[in-house]
Amino acid sequence: MRAGKLDHAITLQRSVETVAPSGAVSSEWTDMATVRAELLQATADEATTSYGEAETVVRSYRIRWLNNVEITTADRLLDGGLAYGIKDIVEIGRRRGLELRCERIRT
């Protein structure tokens, strides 16, 4: 993995539930780590659905291995202020890096 190709700064986030003094439960995203990443592939597919046309944006990122952070498919990442849900995680070599396949989250 070449450092020069890691040209995107992404933030890995995890959803955390908090309980207010009133007993109300709320969910918010907290930052786990901000790392450098290589954008491997970016695709956009359009499909016709029952409610109209929908666009799916899929991206693949490569990052260095993180010893102190365990990434799951329940997490998400931010790139350029846009949120992407992590759909697949592939280990590269023996703890050399991770390939994250993500899908754009529409809000």
Question: What residues does each domain of the chain span?
Answer: 3-104
Q: Smallest Cα–Cα separation from 35: which of 88, 91, 100, 104? A: 100
Q: Determine which of 30-34, 44-48, 81-85, 101-105 has the lowest per-residue pLDDT on average.
A: 44-48
Average pLDDT (83-96) is 94
pLDDT tens digits, one per residue of 35-74: 999 999 777 776 555 566 667 889 999 999 999 999 999 9
Task: Report the C-alpha gap between 18 and 85 in whole angstroms.
Answer: 21
Return the CATH number of the domain spanning residue range 3-104.
2.40.10.270
Residue 78: pLDDT band (50, 70, 90) is: very high
DSSP state of 7: -
Q: Give the pLDDT confidence score for residue 54 in this predicted structure.
A: 66
